[in-house]
Amino acid sequence: MNIHNRGTLLKFWKKHRDAKKALELWYNDVASKNWNKPNDVIRDFARADIISNDRVVFNIKGNKYRLVASINYQKGWLFIKFIGSHAEYNRINASTIEIY
């Protein structure tokens, strides 16, 4: 997958140093994938949550952090829409990334 806006990860782990290793592993793993449908994501990340045909929530660092991505399966693009603590995630609508 071609992961867009990697800078979002860099910015996040500068503030949350404990997330750096987990996010680097996630990034490298996802970059090596070629997903064609949501079930392909679940095959590789069993704990990921599919919230729509193009939205996926990934658990990072044992679910301490959550990452919301939008995936264009046809083009092989993944866009990072949100990354934050589990508590921060609970305050957004992952489908729209609106804050409650």
- pLDDT bracket for residue 97 (50, 70, 90): confident
- pLDDT bracket for residue 19 (50, 70, 90): very high
Domains of the chain, each with CATH number or no CATH: 2-99 (3.30.2310)
Say what the pTM is. 0.93
pLDDT value at residue 98: 65
- pLDDT bracket for residue 96 (50, 70, 90): confident
Distance CA 75, CA 62 (A): 29
- pLDDT bracket for residue 29 (50, 70, 90): very high
Instruction: To the nearest 10°, report the CA torsion of 26, 66, 53, 9.
Output: -50
pLDDT value at residue 99: 59
